[in-house]
């Protein structure tokens, strides 16, 4: 007995009742529409057929919107505890396949409405019986007449059976809700679950989300890495100039504050996007933002020479964004390995290509910036290579020996238009 009653005190029957009551409430509008739309002058047989057809048509209309399917899945997962996958927001499949899913949604809605109405009716009758029979017994006995049945209720201990009926009706209402929920769970998988086309669309959405997150993580690495490198160098410069040139030291410290705040803004934005799983809304930096980037490098005390040619404003947006990140990462590496020595940056758009060339001297005496072994590649250079190759470009990086010493040269060529 305890095993039968214990589940009724959990939250499951109440969620099942709520789901059934929602289905019963949703059944009223289509029933009313079909009832009033059926011609009243027809005979009983044709009128019943017309009523059934109109009811089916209303259910198809209710299940046609894509939001209806998503709402059914969310409600079933929340109130019934199912694990149905959320339908893709924009499934790339033929319209005929979409109509199959809409009809499946309509079929589930019909089942939900029918089961909900049945469970609600049985639960209401059970609660009614559980209240009426003990009330008549406690009031001294009498007759209980309903639906053509008459049940005598004796007074005294002879009517004690009404308490058993009361408990049985309450248990019945709970298990009817369990049964309705179980039936709808069984129908949820075939009617609301993913078909092969939807599984493919959902997998593509998941891949797009992972790609966006990976891109954000890569951009965060570039931005924070550049800021930390520039701030470290500016802090070292401020320490050296604190006694000799306090004004210059204060300017370096102010620059550290500005760049750190900008990096915190980037960090907050990216982390917020990653937590919410939404697409970024803030504008991404492009080659038009090279000025603030190079000025920030110059504020570290580095000698930076910049040469641009061609109309950079006409560079495609995707190429311009990636080129900015390439320049940012290249300048970060240059600051790490050349200190404040001369750095040369050339950005040119010509003959259908965008060319980025960055040359900086290698200085093994810079504290904290040892040479990397020839076979070892850092994450920054790997990221640059991935960006360029995704745009079907060419990239090369390595040491060059000349009369002026050893330099590091990074060169990237990106086509301005995709190859046919």
Please state, in angstroms and rounded to a whole number, the distance separating the CA atoms of residues 408 and 378. 14
What is the average per-residue pLDDT within 76-84?
85
Residues 113-141: b if buried by 16+ CB within 10 A, e if exposed: bebbbbbbebbebbeebbebbbebbeeee
How confident is the model at residue 363, as a pLDDT?
62
Is residue 368 over pLDDT 50?
A: no
How confident is the model at residue 4, as a pLDDT?
53
User: In the chain, what are the domains?
Assistant: 2-194 (no CATH), 207-282 (1.20.5), 286-420 (3.30.565.10)
pLDDT tens profile 234-287: 677 677 777 777 777 777 777 776 667 666 666 665 666 566 555 554 557 888
Reduce the DSSP state of residue 170 to 3 states and report it: helix
Reduce the DSSP state of residue 356 to 3 states and report it: strand
> C-alpha 220: how far from its chain's center?
19
Please state, in angstroms and rounded to a whole number, the distance separating the CA atoms of residues 26 and 112. 9
How confident is the model at residue 94, as a pLDDT?
47
Please state, in angstroms and rounded to a whole number, the distance separating the CA atoms of residues 313 and 315. 6
pLDDT tens profile 294-325: 887 887 777 888 999 988 888 888 788 888 88
Nearest to 332 by CA among 258, 406, 230: 230
Q: Which residue has the tokens 């924009």?
A: 90
What is the average per-residue pLDDT within 331-360?
84
How confident is the model at residue 325, as a pLDDT?
85
According to DSSP, residue 381 is labeled H
Q: pTM value?
A: 0.51
What is the average per-residue pLDDT within 36-62?
89
Is residue 357 over pLDDT 90?
A: yes
What is the average per-residue pLDDT within 108-120?
91
> Are 264 and 224 within 8 A, CB to CB?
no
According to DSSP, residue 390 is labeled H
What is the average per-residue pLDDT within 59-87?
86
Q: With 0-12 CB in 10 A as exposed, 13-18 as middle and 19+ as buried, what is 164?
A: exposed
Nearest to 395 by CA among 379, 406, 409, 377: 409
> C-alpha 395: how far from its chain's center?
34
Torsion of CA 364, 410, 255, 220, to 10 degrees: -110
Backbone phi, psi, residue 406, to 5°: -90, 130
What is the average per-residue pLDDT within 315-336?
84
How confident is the model at residue 373, as a pLDDT?
41
Please state, in angstroms and rounded to a whole number, the distance separating the CA atoms of residues 338 and 362. 5
Q: Would you tell me how many other CB atoms lie within 10 Å of the CB of residue 347? A: 23
- Dump the DSSP string for 335-353: HHHHTTS-EEEEEEEETTE
Q: Which residue has the tokens 């004004």?
A: 247
Is residue 367 over pLDDT 60?
A: no
> Are 227 and 259 within 8 A, CB to CB?
yes
Maximum distance among all alpha carbons in the chain? 117
Please state, in angstroms and rounded to a whole number, the distance separating the CA atoms of residues 374 and 392. 25
Instruction: Name which of 22-31, 125-134, 198-207, 308-317 the model is least confident about.
Output: 198-207
Handedness of CA 100, 102, 106, 108 (dihedral sign): positive
How confident is the model at residue 346, as a pLDDT?
93
How confident is the model at residue 189, as a pLDDT?
84
What is the average per-residue pLDDT within 126-155?
83
Half-sphere exposure of 379 (CA within 13 A, CB side): 8
């Amino acid at each position: 007995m305890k095993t039968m009653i214990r589940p009724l005190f959990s939250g499951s029957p109440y969620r099942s009742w709520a789901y059934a009551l929602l289905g019963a409430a949703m059944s009223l509008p289509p029933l009313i529409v079909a009832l009033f739309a059926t011609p009243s002058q027809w005979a009983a047989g044709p009128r019943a057929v017309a009523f059934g057809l109109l009811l089916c048509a209303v259910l198809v209309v209710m299940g046609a919107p894509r939001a209806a399917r998503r709402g059914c899945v969310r409600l079933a997962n929340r109130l019934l505890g199912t694990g149905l996958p959320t339908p893709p927001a924009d499934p790339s499949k033929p319209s005929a396949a979409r109509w199959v899913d809409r009809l499946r949604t309509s079929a589930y809605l019909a089942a939900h409405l029918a089961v909900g109405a049945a469970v609600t009716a049985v639960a209401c009758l059970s609660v009614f019986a559980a209240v009426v029979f003990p009330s008549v017994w406690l009031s001294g006995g009498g007759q209980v007449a309903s639906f053509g049945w008459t049940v005598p209720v004796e007074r005294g201990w002879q009517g004690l059976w009404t308490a058993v009926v009361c408990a049985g009706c309450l248990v019945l209402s709970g298990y009817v809700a369990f049964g309705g929920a179980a039936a709808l769970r069984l129908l949820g998988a075939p009617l609301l679950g993913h078909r092969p086309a939807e599984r493919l669309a959902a997998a593509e959405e998941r891949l797009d989300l992972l790609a966006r997150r990976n891109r954000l993580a890569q951009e965060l690495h570039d931005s924070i890495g550049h800021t930390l490198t520039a701030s470290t160098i500016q802090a070292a410069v401020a320490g050296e100039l604190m006694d000799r040139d306090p004004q210059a030291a204060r300017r370096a410290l102010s620059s550290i504050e500005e760049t750190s705040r900008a990096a915190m803004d980037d960090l907050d934005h990216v982390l917020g996007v990653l937590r919410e799983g939404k697409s970024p809304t803030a504008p991404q930096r492009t080659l038009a933002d090279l000025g603030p980037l190079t000025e920030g490098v110059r504020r570290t005390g580095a000698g930076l020479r910049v040469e641009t040619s061609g109309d950079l404003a006409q560079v495609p947006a995707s190429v311009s964004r990636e080129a900015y990140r390439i320049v940012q990462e290249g300048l970060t590496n240059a600051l790490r390995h050349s200190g404040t020595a001369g750095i040369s940056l050339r950005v040119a758009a010509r003959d259908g290509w965008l060319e980025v060339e960055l040359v900086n001297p290698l200085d093994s005496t810079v504290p904290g910036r040892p040479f990397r072994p020839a076979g070892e590649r850092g994450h920054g250079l790997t990221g640059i290579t991935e960006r360029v190759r995704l745009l079907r470009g060419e990239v090369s990086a390595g040491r060059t020996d000349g009369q002026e010493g050893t330099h590091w040269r990074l060169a990237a060529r990106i086509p301005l238009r995709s190859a046919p």
